Amino acid sequence: MSKVAIITGISGQDGSYLAELLLEKGYEIHGIIRRSSSFNTGRITHLYQDPKIHQEGKMKLHYGDLTDTSCLMRLINEIQPDEIYNLGAQSHVKVSFDVAEYTSDVDGMGVLRVFEAIRACKLSHKVKLYQASSSELYGKVREIPQNEETPFYPRSPYGIAKQFAFWTVINNREAYGIFASNGILFNHESPRRGETFVTRKITRAVSKIHLGLMESFSLGNLNAKRDWGHAKDYVEAMWLMLQQEKSDDYVIATGKVYSVREFVEAAFKYLGKSIEWSGEGTDEVGIEKETGIIRVRVDPKYYRPTEVEFLQGDSTKARKQLNWKPKFDFQGLVEDMMKSDLKLMKDNPAA
Ligand code: NDP
Ligand code: GDR
């Protein structure tokens, strides 16, 4: 009998890689998607259209929403899953300041609704739940690097909602014995990363500049530092967490830190070009050494009301207990994203 999994957020970056991984492992998967006025399933179309997957009924999509309790209840009751991966979220930190209430509802209350549905369907002792927790919980960092014991200090409506979700997982584990694990994942990127997150914004813009489709682009805080990994490696950790005997919470990270400025330099370096920085604050610019042309400017509209300046994860626990380790390093990640965006822009300059 194949295992049955529900994935909320299947149309997102992580959901699409996780769907591939679970299908490879022989799962029957059920993805929850939102109705939208244009297609939002581009990242999983290749799976849905694969005749083998389609004919064998290995992947099914259902309309639903983390704000809709009755729908979650009906789906969980019908599907009777072995595992639920709760990846659905309004996942953009800057946008969460603009839609704070909505973000709290989806990212915070959403997981509570899933637990209520599990309990109402009497699946507390059968189902295993993975919650997409985040390094944004650490926010204003007081310890370097951050591990499972580091205190939280979220700095955005997104981070605060994810903290509610984090504790909801622990409370349901302790109160009702539900197998539920938090993956405290640090930033992870890929060619499928949403286009307004900083890494993908950079690899898209640098590819366009290289092809003569754009002269320059603007960023916000160039000094922010992140521990960037590859999404393909990180979905493996999600699955591993649910294969353990006991549920627990794990940090998933590379342990290596780079600034936004260094990410820009690495993207240009992939093309054999170098960037020199001049000026300070909002007057800082990135100049292409070979041509003397300004390629990067700073625009304060991308600044956040409260910023998370520095994140570096210590994933020793996951490496020991889950036997997890990332395959991609920083250079490998930048190369994978640049290669993909160069091809995308060559094939479709309007992309
Ligand atoms: P994406 O933004 O790429 O995907 C988010 C998914 O959630 C999309 O499928 C989206 O649907 C869906 N979604 C949004 N709102 C709702 C809703 N109201 N009900 C149901 N589904 C909804 O995020 P990622 O794949 O990058 O991240 C996956 C999860 O991991 C998120 O919870 C994120 O917060 C968390 N996370 C991500 C990290 C990262 O670096 N990527 C790090 C740590 C945590 P649609 O396609 O229709 O918009
Ligand atoms: P983050 O990712 O907020 O860490 O959340 P993002 O890529 O948006 O920002 C990373 C850092 O880069 C700075 N920055 C910019 N960010 C964006 N988006 N656009 C810009 O132009 C820009 N210029 C500088 C930001 O200020 C920030 O410091 C991601 C999301 O995937 C969350 O869902 C997840 O929980 C965390 O990672 C871990």
ipTM: 0.99
Alpha carbons 335 and 86: distance in angstroms, whole number: 29
- The atom number, within ligand 1, closest to the CA of 188 reads 40
Could you tell me if 186 and 217 lie in one domain? no
Q: Which domain holds residue 304?
A: 198-223+259-309+335-347
Could you tell me if 19 and 83 lie in one domain? yes
- The atom number, within ligand 2, closest to the CA of 222 reads 24
- 211: domain CATH number is 3.90.25.10
- The atom number, within ligand 2, closest to the CA of 260 reads 12
Could you tell me if 50 and 99 lie in one domain? yes
- Which alpha helices (H) appear in the chain, and where do they start and end? 13-24, 45-48, 51-55, 69-79, 93-98, 100-103, 110-120, 157-176, 198-210, 231-242, 260-270, 316-321, 330-347
Q: What is the pTM of this model?
A: 0.98
- 31: domain CATH number is 3.40.50.720
Could you tell me if 246 and 219 lie in one domain? no
Could you tell me if 294 and 244 lie in one domain? no
The rounded Å distance from CA 211 to ligand 2 centre is 26
The tally of domains found in the chain comes to 2
Could you tell me if 211 and 236 lie in one domain? no
The rounded Å distance from CA 234 to ligand 2 centre is 17
Q: Which residues line ligand 2 (CB under 6 A)?
A: 91, 93-94, 134-136, 186-187, 196-198, 201, 219-221, 224, 226, 260, 302, 304, 307-308
- pLDDT digits (tens), the chain, 351 positions: 899 999 999 999 999 999 999 999 999 999 999 999 999 999 999 998 888 887 788 999 999 999 999 999 999 999 999 999 999 999 999 999 999 999 999 999 999 999 999 999 999 999 999 999 999 999 998 899 999 999 999 999 999 999 999 999 999 999 999 999 999 999 999 999 999 999 999 999 999 999 999 999 999 999 999 999 999 999 999 999 999 999 999 999 999 999 999 999 999 999 999 999 999 999 999 999 999 999 999 999 999 999 999 999 999 999 999 999 999 999 999 999 999 999 999 999 999
Could you tell me if 273 and 135 lie in one domain? no
Could you tell me if 115 and 173 lie in one domain? yes
Could you tell me if 212 and 320 lie in one domain? no
- 333 alpha carbon, closest ligand: 1
By CB atoms closer than 10 A (0-12, 13-18, 19+), residue 92 is: middle
- The atom number, within ligand 1, closest to the CA of 11 reads 9
